[in-house]
Structure 1
Amino acid sequence: MDFESVVHGLQPLLNNQFASKITEDEGLAKQCALKLSELAINLRAPSNRDILRESGVLKELLNLLLSALKTTIENDFSSINGVAVCSELIRSLANCLADNDENRSLFMSEYFEKGSDLRVQAAQVLEFDGNSGDSTFDLKFKTLALIKNLCLDSESYTRDCSSDLTSSLIKLLERSPSNPQSAEQLDAVTMASDLLSEFTQFSAPAVSAEEFQSLVHRLRRIAPKAGNGATTNTESDEEDPYCELVQLLTETLERVVSTNEHIDFSNQESTHKLQKELAETLATLELKETLENKLIIMRRLVSVMGLISANTSNSNLQDRSMCFEILSQANGGYVAAAALVVLSNSISSREAANDVCRHLKLSSIIQRCRAFQDPVQFQGFLDLMKKLLNLSNIQELEEADLVTLSMELKVCHDQCQYFQNLAPLLDAFLTKLVAVLPGSMLRKLLSNGNFKTMIVERGGIAACLLIDKLAVQHRNVDDEIVVELWTSVFRLQDPSVTQEGLSTPFLFQLMKSLGIYLRNRNKLDPNPVFETHSRQLSSLFEIIEPLSANTDSASQSILNNARFVAGMVVELLKDQALTSQESQLFNTATKLLLSNEPLTMSS
């Protein structure tokens, strides 16, 4: 039958009274559904979609849908005939919108604007939680397809629909069976999850904590089914639908919690339940050897748990016991990484750090994390260790712990070139580590190739602090490493800033370290600063000199330390045979000393 005949056969359906009759006349409803099914098939041809619009039949079908849905919803979806006709109507309209911008524009502008009757009806269909069985499910599935075809490749339509259909999709997922009994049911859940992922690009700030909890619970139920297919990619060309669901839901969860600043996690009981479900999900999925895109999923889940714990409304105190338990177990690098982030975010004072230390030794953390390789795994480790380290508990570490720690930090250092966000955490921890380690333990660490290589390559404040300690306990055996450290520091590549330049803390510490080092030298000692780095030090003096016009304490502290260094430079170089670069250094130091400020160092 040609398309014109199909369209002509629709005329009896377009009568104003037809919608009310189909709920009462089963034969009429079946005949209608059959004609609409035939129409849907014919609308697979792109040219027929234009004909339907140009003939005006598209509008008539939309008006029929409005009436039919109104009657069906008023009857609480109890009429199987009405539901079936609505399903076929929506199927035809979904096909009509596919890849047809003019049809989509008409549909959106005249029938599906925010607050329109049809938009409200679509939400009611998706949210319906009755027992009408397969017929209602089919109606929901077709409605999802209609919305999908409308929004496909259209940011404008996606944004518009997301404003009031996001909650409907979440309710649909919440009420869908945890064990889909058919491929169609699984497809519907996947389509809803896909749409939700698209919608939350715009609607994430409106998602509530309760809705978020619902999605986490859904993910927890799906996780055991994911990654249970073929053991290798070559054994099956089919994608695992549960893996796809896991990917979509984790993407949505991460997007919501990373962009929704107002989501409330202050209820300790519900937030603990949330984190517990996420940790269980992470542990379950981490064991799946054939999980597709496993690395992405693992990172997202660690991120989600970390962002929940970082939310200002969440104290994290309710989750400490859970984290201690996770870290006491042998397996699961990603779930351990998430636990470390949560623990770190639960510490806001020295007292809190001491409380964690009473349950968790530094050595156990180091040994638990020795298999970490992914930079995401190290974030909580570095931040937590920095908060826990102090002059007392550092003494508890044995040489084996330091060797393992050096290896872990070297892995972190190597990963920083691919994962720049890790660098500030690593540098902050190194600074704290060098600050609290006794000189004897530092020397043991420096004998380890991993630690020495990392410190020399990173430079920064940690290298300056290390020079301080070695300078104060001056030993000839340290001269070689000190030369390497000065070379590292004078590269003037401050790892604490992402762009060119030097941070105030680094410049302050560099001047302080130079002062300590030069104060412990005499004129007859070999001096790598003068021999190799006179030009760089001259440049630093020139950079610092204009700070005399600043009144802030940071600038004044840097200037004060620089003047002290300048005084030491003049004292050590005067009456000496100087190279041209040393002469330039002597002159710039003298110029910096022209003020009457006292030559003392700020600490």
Structure 2
Amino acid sequence: MDYEDILFGLQPIINASNVEDIPLQDVYLEGYLTVLDQLAVSLRAPDNRNVIGQSGLFSQLLRVLQSFLDICFHSQDTTGDQLTLFKLVSELIRCIANGLVDNDDNRKILIDGDITSEIKLEKKIRLIDYYIPRIFNLDSITNSDDTDKLLSTLQMRSIVLVKNLILENDNLIKRFSTYLRGPLFKLLLKYQPLINDEYEILLLASEILVDILDIHSEDTTVSNISILTEFIVKVAPLISSIDIGDASEENESHDASEMMEEIDDPFTDLILNFTKCLEIILEKNLKINFQNLDDQVLKIQTNLFESLNILFPKEFYNKLIVMRRLSSSVGYVSSNLTISNVNERHLCYNIIKSSQNGYQLAAAFILLSNSINSKQDADLILNDIPISLLIEKTSFIKDPMQFQGFLDLLRKLLSITIAMTLTQDELYKLAIVLKVIQDQTKYFTNLLPLLSSLLKKLITVLPSSMIQKLISSNDTCPILDIILENESLTSALSLDKLLVARTDTKDEILMKLWDKVFKFDENSSNGNNISISYLFQISKTLGIYFKNIESKCSKESDKLIVSHFKDILLVLETLLPLKNNEDNASKSGFNNGKFVAGMILKVISNYDILTSEETQLKDICSSFF
């Protein structure tokens, strides 16, 4: 950089005491613009960025810029000198933007303070707090259409300035987010109709918005959500399908003079940014009020479903992330307590009946699940969508995360009445699906509680005879394996059903379930103590078992006592101290233990001789009375 020549060329601007003293005729203007262009180009070099900061030129450029902006936004002149000044403002912003690239010293000059600690809102930074938002909000510079290019360039360079200032600095992002978030949304909305031509502006603006929302997403509105979904559904058709294996990675540049000249497919990055913005807003603002906005909600969900439909056949970078974000966004919106989701059910019915798009199906499952608040809701859904169709549609699910809505929806739809209508073949097919999900829980742990809840509901509502058929058909139906791989409580509930079935279950199967039931470490509240809720269940199951044994009046030692003496003893020893507790959970647990103890005493009273272990068991049982 020929610093002296540049400084000489800028003397009329820098040394003028007032803007009015600067000669702005065309011949002078062209000279200023040429020098500023040379300066902007030279600032691509890190050393030159240091020079303008240390020499004071960066501070002078900021001062002049703010003087020009003050006249631009407060002068009554809508043509003439104002237009000239906007041209100079654009070039000055370009120079300052380039001077900020990877240069904390120049960033400190701009904010006039430290950038490594929190910056208070009370400290006004006029360029960013006031002028940049005003630039973002501009719809035109003059009444003439021929300034549109100047305006888009000015706004693009302003976006680059903001990006280079706040890049990877949470303190700066937090400080300026309040002033920039609203104008950024307005800027995005302005350029939405020009998405094919002005994607560079939209891309950089959306990148900044991601950073801002990640730190400051409070008080975002339904309108913000609508804007993002409108963008997403408009960008989706513009994404080019590529061969992922052969495509090259894109390079990023924050140089204001190089406005991302070559981008393989900017629309892929755009949709990644917009879906991220949407995800952040919905994740962090669960109490957004959608009340009395039924039409807007329907439009939002329609946009999301349509975007999933458009993107499904395409191949593009980060497709998995985008599709998951869109599906989860349907879920976040539908989970809002101010939305009934009734108006959106028809969307889900159509998708479930006709679509083979796993992400669309997953989103439809989630929305329908969130629309169920009563048995009547469940019945209405089942009138249109039978459970057999839900099970059938899981064949189109390829991403394990897509199972979440299916698991929750099926749990809510199941009832004793509905369970009676399910055929053995349908239940076999369901068991195969659940086995696939069970295998995926090793890698997708958030599926496990949903699977466990469904299994417990399924076991609860199915008749004992059907549970016995399914479990006894382990060669063709994997339900026993699923139960044994699930939490111990599921095995206990299964035993409750099998122990009251009209026909006996094989001892081998029963013992596998008992082995699982007595894995106390899976039901420990703190690593040592068994949870009171599990003690209640296991004592109930033991009560059913020993009541059956007692009725047989056998004189032989019981197999369960022999194989699990220590476990049964531990259960009784843990329940016994609850005798004097006043809370309902302790009382219920103790009463169950007392019933088990009574049954055990009756069982072993038939024995001619007690072993030392049976004697020990008799003593602890007697302590309950």
Question: Which of these residues, 304, 310, 316, is aligned with residue 278 of structure 1?
Answer: 304
Confirm or deny that 1:167 pairs with 2:182: yes
Q: Report Cα offsets for 1:509-543 as digits up to 9, x if no partner.
A: 22111111111114357744312222122222222
Which residue of 1 is the match for residue 47 of structure 2? 47
Offset at 1:337?
A: 0.9
Identity of aligned residues (%): 33
Q: CA deviation at 1:5?
A: 2.8
Q: CA RMSD in A?
A: 2.6
Equivalence for 1:571: 602
- For 2:521 and 2:271, locate their aligned partners in 1 and report how far apart those are by CA, in whole Å: 42
What SS is found at the alignment partner of 1:392?
helix
- Secondary structure at 2:499 match in 1: helix
Per the TM alignment, residue 587 of structure 1 is displaced from its structure 2 partner at its CA by: 3.5
Contact 1:20–1:71 (8 Å) recurs in 2 = no
Q: 1:181 to 1:428 in 2, by over 3 A?
A: closer
Q: In structure 2, which of residues 214, 219, 234 is the aligned counterpart of residue 206 of structure 1?
A: 219
Confirm or deny: 8 A CA contact 1:324 1:360 kept in the other structure: yes
In the alignment, what sits opposite 2:37?
37
- Which structure 2 residues correspond to residues 336-355 of structure 1 after superposition, within 5 A? 336-355=361-380
Q: What one-letter code is carried by the residue in structure 2 that aligns with 1:165? A: L
The whole-number CA distance in structure 1 between the counterparts of 2:120 and 2:25 is 32
Q: Answer whether contact 2:9 2:32 (CA < 8 A) is retained.
A: no
In structure 2, what is the equivalent of residue 589 of structure 1? 621
**Residue 196 of structure 1: CA displacement?**
0.7
- Aligned residue runs from structure 1 range 319-330, under 5 A: 319-330=344-355
Could you give the per-residue CA deviations for residues 251-285 of structure 1, whole angstroms, max 9, x where no partner exists? 11111111113322221111111111111112222
Match of 1:287 among 313, 319, 332: 313
What residue in structure 2 maps to residue 530 of structure 1? 561
Instruction: Specify the SS of the correspondent of 2:246.
Output: helix
Cα 1:83–1:576, aligned 2, differ >3 Å: closer, same or farther?
Answer: farther
Contact 2:268 2:317 in 1 (8 A): yes
One-letter code aligned to 1:423: L
Give 1:459 deviation, angstroms: 3.9
Q: State the one-letter code of the partner of 2:226.
A: Q
Q: Give the secondary structure class of the aligned counterpart of 1:560.
A: helix
Q: Does 1:374 align with 2:399?
A: yes
1:121 maps to 131
Aligned-partner SS, 2:396: coil
Range with bigger deviation, 555-564 or 11-20 = 11-20
Is residue 9 of structure 2 the alignment partner of residue 9 of structure 1? yes
Structure 2 residue 323 is the aligned partner of structure 1 residue 298? yes
- Whether contact under 8 Å (2:495, 2:510) holds in the other structure is yes
Q: Which residue of 2 aligns with 1:599?
A: none
The CA distance in 1 between the partners of 2:22 and 2:433, in whole Å, is 71
Deviations 1:465-508 (A, max 9, x none): 21111111253443221111111111135479898865444332
Match of 1:255 in 2: 280
Distance 1:585 1:134, change over 3 A: farther
Query: 1:441 Cα deviation (Å)?
Result: 2.1
- 8 Å Cα contact 1:9/1:35 also seen in 2: yes
Deviation (angstroms), 1:400 = 2.8
Pairing of 1:70-89 with structure 2 (within 5 A): 70-74=70-74, 80-89=83-92
Flag the 1:455–1:277 CA change in 2: closer, same or farther, 3 A: same
Count, aligned residues: 589
What is residue 197 of structure 1 aligned with on the other side? 210
Instruction: Note closer, same or farther for the CA distance 1:77–1:407 as it changes in structure 2 (3 Å cut).
Output: farther
Alpha-carbon distance in structure 2 between the residues aligned to 1:573 and 1:378: 48
Contact map agreement 2:468 2:505 (CA 8 A) in 1? no
1:65 paired residue number: 65
Q: Distance in 2 between matches of 1:80 and 1:496?
A: 74
Are the counterparts in 2 of residues 98 and 150 from structure 1 also a CA contact under 8 Å? Answer: yes
Structure 2 counterpart of 1:571, one-letter code: K
* 1:230 equivalent in alignment to 2:225: no
Offset of 1:355 from its aligned partner?
Answer: 1.8
The 5 A counterparts of 1:96-111 are 96-109=99-112
Q: Does the CA contact (< 8 Å) of 1:459 and 1:485 recur in 2?
A: no
- Given that residues 458 and 495 in structure 1 are in contact (C-alpha distance below 8 angstroms), is that contact kept between their aligned partners in structure 2? no
Distance 2:433 2:524 in 1: 20
Residue by residue, what CA displacement relative to the aligned partner does 1:222-272 show, whole Å, maximum 9, x if unpaired?
01122x243243154555321111111111111111111332222111111
Q: Which moved more, 1:200-209 or 1:455-464?
A: 455-464
Aligned to 1:458: 486
Q: Distance in 1 between matches of 2:156 and 2:22?
A: 21
Q: Does the C-alpha gap of structure 1 residues 394 and 497 become closer, same or farther in structure 2, counting only changes over 3 Å?
A: farther
Aligned 8 A contact 2:555 2:608 in 1: no
Compared CA separation, residues 354 and 56, structure 1 to 2 (3 A): same
Distance change >3 Å, CA 508–CA 5, structure 1 → 2: same
Match of 2:561, SS? Answer: helix
Equivalent residues of 2:355, 2:361 under 8 A apart? no
Mapped partners of 2:25, 2:90: distance in 1:
17
**Aligned partners of 2:268 and 2:316 also within 8 Å:** yes
Moved more, 109-118 or 537-546: 109-118
Confirm or deny that 1:150 pairs with 2:165. yes
**1:532–1:376 distance in 2 versus 1, CA, 3 Å:** same
Could you tell me which residue of structure 2 aligns to residue 600 of structure 1? Answer: none
Corresponding letter in the other structure for 1:507? L
- 1:499–1:350 distance in 2 versus 1, CA, 3 Å: farther
Aligned pairs for 1:464-479 within 5 A: 464-473=492-501, 475-479=503-507
Q: CA deviation at 1:546?
A: 3.0
Corresponding residue of 1:601: none
Contact 1:333 1:371 in 2 (8 A): yes
* Alignment partner of 1:481 out of 509, 518, 542: 509
For normalisation by structure 1, the TM-score amounts to: 0.91
- CA shift, 1:107, in A, is 0.8
Report the CA distance shift for 1:579/1:333 in structure 2 as closer, same or farther (over 3 A).
farther
* Alignment CA distance shift 1:305-1:535 (3 Å): same
Contact 1:178 1:218 in 2 (8 A): no
Q: Residues of 1 paired with 2:22 and 2:287: CA distance?
A: 47
2:259 matched residue in structure 1? none
2:360 maps to: 335
When normalised by structure 2's length, the TM-score is 0.88
Cα–Cα, structure 1 residues 180 and 389, in superposed 2: closer, same or farther, change >3 Å? closer
Quickly say closer, same or farther: Cα 1:190–1:579, change in 2 above 3 A: farther
Cα distance change, pair 332–486 in 1 and its aligned pair in 2 (3 A): same
User: Structure 1 470/336 Cα, relative in aligned 2: closer, same or farther at 3 Å?
Assistant: same
Once the two structures are superposed, residues 436-468 of structure 1 have per-residue CA deviations (whole angstroms, 9 ceiling, x without a partner) of 111232233221442111011214332222111
Cross-structure match for 1:598: none
Please state whether the residue corresponding to 1:150 is helix, strand or coil. helix
8 Å contact from structure 1 (residues 253, 304) kept in 2: yes
Structure 2 counterpart of 1:280, one-letter code: E
Shifted more, 146-155 versus 129-138: the winner is: 129-138
C-alpha contact (below 8 Å) 1:158/1:198 kept by paired residues? yes
- Is residue 468–residue 501 contact of structure 2 (8 Å, CA) maintained in 1? no
Distance 1:357 1:65, change over 3 A: same
Paired residue for 2:254? Answer: none
Counterparts in 2 of 1:193 and 1:540: CA distance versus 1, 3 Å: same
The CA distance in 2 between the partners of 1:352 and 1:315, in whole Å, is 11
Contact residue 463 and residue 485 of structure 1 kept, 8 A? yes
Q: Contact 1:285–1:291 (CA<8 Å) still a contact in 2?
A: no
